[in-house]
Chain A
Amino acid sequence: MASSSSSHLPASVFNPRRHVGVHAERVSDVASTEFPGHYPGEDHSWSLAKFKENLKVSVKRLSQRSVEFDLVGVDASIANAFRRIMLSEVPTLAIEDVFVFNNTSVIHDEVLSHRLGLIPINVDPRLFEFRQDIPLDRNTLVFRLNVTCERIKKASKDGPQYINEYVRSGDLEWVPQGEQESVFASNPPAATNKDIVLAKLRPGQTIEMELHAIKGVGKEHAKWSPVATASYRLHPLILLNPSKPVPPHLAQKFASCFSPGVVKVSPDGQVSIDERHLRKETMSREVLRHKEFEGCVELKRIRDWFIFSVESEGPYTPESLFPESIKVMRGKIASIREAAEALLADSQDLGSGSAPGASAGPDADGDVEMA
């Protein structure tokens, strides 16, 4: 039928069970109802084969800092889990301890330290360990910041008057510790962007401090979040009512209610949706404000088609953030699984090892604990 199938929507998209209704003042059918037993005669139990068949992951756009990809066929809880992990549980390195030797600038120590913590650092966090108590070369990165502002003697009227007027993130000097010298020889740690202004100085003011950067996760402080932001939106769908077409004299007005390019107006005033550009629609619901279009159109979103937009801020390349979040998710699943298997072993031991007559399973107050 269509020449390039990737630019047109597959027919399964029009299945009403997959739609979230978007109305003027509410949304309807938000949650998925496809659980075993909800629809008699249908089998919605988990099947990896069926899931693989319906799953579609396709990367749409990639730049040095951001990636946009589609995740189709998963439930919202899974997509949200990945989004939450990208935001808060993928580790990064950031400055945590600031040892101030001299700060005569107008920026207070704590304010300056806060700004230093937010600087993204271009070191691969996978090479570092989390710090428990002792700072070692395996878990701490040391920088020095040493800037003094002076007046330029014989400065011209309009030219620069001061040396080191601005303290920038590029002024951070890495001090290699132990093994770090050889490991990072080819790629010295520094701020990803060297033009971030940290403080402004005037002649006589000095900043001299030692900074320790450690590995952490966004859950603890947003400075350790690897993404500028990671978000998703649901793919929009516009359904025209064939029994109430848009009057030709209002066709242009109808088209202007949607994002440009989404609605095509033919020369004789017939309105149609351009499926290739449908994903650009931002669902402003402008069309629902006009009485003349009432009943002509239905606005929907496709419940399991997630358009992810991930902007990387620090060391990770944007295309590697999603696989990292999957790794973290699998780590969580593994740790819960280990604990659950220990519980299972416990309850089986209690069942087989107990004397006849004694109760198996939970003890007196109902708790079954890991040993």
Chain B
Amino acid sequence: MAQATPKIRILQGAEPDLSAATYQIHDESHTIGNALRWMIMKNPKVEFCGYSAPHPSENHINMRIQMYDGLSSLTALLEALKNLDDLCVTIDEAYTHSMQNDQYERWDEKS
């Protein structure tokens, strides 16, 4: 079935309607963990969001999301992922625009 560890797993103790759940994301670290946590917190329906990297020897993070009004935390997670993607695209466009149009100092750096 799942020989490799699944990318995301919902840990024990989650609410049946997923209004509160802990997601264990494998092969990820603070890089995506902190950024995703910030984006999930920007959702006004989220009551609580936090993440931790339980042990540095094990390469996974635990993300806890609790929602108001019995909404599903999985939809909040997906929405935050989509928003993060939009954010990356926006930054990329702004950087490319600046690279092509801004006046910046070009200097010769000797090796």
Contact = CB atoms under 8 A, between A and B. Distances in A.
Contacts, number: 175
A347 B12 contact: no
Interface in B40-71: 41-44
Interface in A36-67: 36-37, 43-46, 48, 51-52, 55-66
Given A329-B88, A340-B8, A37 B44 contact: yes
A35 B41 contact: yes
A365 interface: yes
B94 A55 contact: yes
A106 interface: no
A269 B53 CA distance: 54
A366 B6 contact: no
Interface residues of B, number: 60
B37 A319 contact: no
Given A57-B94, A337-B78, A370 B2 contact: yes
B43 A323 contact: no
A88 to B, nearest CB: 8
A340 B74 contact: yes
Contacts of A329: 31-32, 35, 88
Contact of A52 (B10, B25, B90): B90
Interface stretch (A125-133, A272-280, A355-363): A355-363
A243 interface: no
A209 interface: no
B42 A74 contact: no
Nearest to B89: A330
A81 B10 contact: no
Contacts of B29: 84
Contacts of A285: none
Nearest to B59: A219
A65 B109 CA distance: 7
Contacts of A366: 10-14
Nearest to B26: A339
B98 A55 contact: no
Query: Which of B75, B84, B102 gathers most chain A CB within 10 Å?
Result: B84
Contacts of B81: 333, 336-337, 340
A151 interface: no
Contact of B90 (A55, A59, A322): A55
Contacts of B14: 361-362, 366, 368
Given A330-B89, A370-B9, 12 more contacts: A52-B90, A62-B104, A62-B106, A63-B109, A77-B35, A77-B37, A326-B92, A338-B7, A343-B74, A361-B14, A361-B18, A367-B11
21 contacts: A43-B44, A48-B86, A55-B90, A58-B104, A60-B105, A61-B105, A62-B106, A65-B109, A78-B38, A84-B31, A329-B31, A329-B35, A330-B89, A337-B78, A339-B6, A340-B74, A341-B78, A361-B16, A361-B17, A370-B2, A370-B6
